[in-house]
Amino acid sequence: MKRRLLLVSNSTLHGSGYLDHCQQHISHFFGKDVKRVLFVPYALHDRDTYTKTARDKFKTLGYEVESIHEASDPVDAVRRAEGIFIGGGNTFRLLKSLYDNKVVTEIRRRVLEDGVPYMGSSAGTNVATISINTTNDMPIVYPPSFSAIGLVPFNINPHYLDTDPSSRHMGETREQRITQFHEEPDTPCVLGLREGSMLLVEGNKATLLGTTNARLFTRGKSTVEYNPGCDLSFLLTDAH
């Protein structure tokens, strides 16, 4: 297994700029072999502005950015990519666009077979998993399937929020919503990535990085907290 993934909970952390909180991890992840990163801005409506934001940031890190929405042939753009970064926004819009442009299978092949490094943030992290069933987003469009790229055999909930006992909000908490997901049969475990956390996957090894803990939800079991630096490689077995 050649996969290399950097799955980030959020692109902007409170008090800092775009990708500032994870820029050192980005530089280490893409390294010096990658010169150009293929950016996928499908999660936002204004793809030109979004691309400029990503292009400006990656330039400060020493990387050129090509956007898939500027390519005449999106599939060929994926085939030529040295590295891939899928940004955040609306997960339903993102996945629908990935299917519409017929790049889901090609991204999976390039990452799992060719070892092309894949970075996702927020919605881009959601689509790297089995499905988008544990996204926080509204279904503003209808993708042909909720099945995602499937680079890991579990789901992620980015921007995971803990229950606030002092809140007067009467809607479901994030924990309750994930529990409802697990009320359905044959559902995978869900890794709740709080803002500031990210998961690094290298082959069959997974490590929690960042500054905040992650919370693991497994159907029929108690939740478990993991600190930054923890080895989460067990999540990469199909049993989980």
Determine the Cα–Cα distance for residues 76 and 145; give it in Å rounded to an integer.
Answer: 23
Beta strands 36-40 and 197-202 are unpaired
Q: Is 21 a catalytic residue?
A: no
pLDDT class for 1, splitting at 50, 70, 90?
confident
User: Can you give the pLDDT at residue 139?
Assistant: 98
Q: Which of 25, 69, 159, 182 is catalytic?
A: 159
- With contact defined as beta carbons under 8 Å apart, do 154 and 189 qualify? yes
Checking if the pLDDT of 112 tops 70, the result is yes
Residues in CB range of 110: below 8 A, 6 or more apart: 78, 79, 81, 84, 116
Q: Which of 11, 121, 131, 137 is catalytic?
A: 137
Quickly name the fold that domain 4-162+190-216+224-236 has.
Rossmann fold (3.40.50)
Determine the Cα–Cα distance for residues 11 and 89; give it in Å rounded to an integer.
Answer: 10
Q: What single string gives the DSSP state of each residue in 119-136? A: EEETHHHHTTSSBSTT--
Q: Is 25 a catalytic residue?
A: no
Checking if the pLDDT of 239 tops 60, the result is no
Q: Is 122 a catalytic residue?
A: yes
pLDDT class for 172, splitting at 50, 70, 90?
confident
Q: What is the pLDDT of residues 194-225, one digit of tens each?
A: 999 999 999 999 999 999 999 999 999 999 99
Q: Which of 9, 11, 97, 122 is catalytic?
A: 122
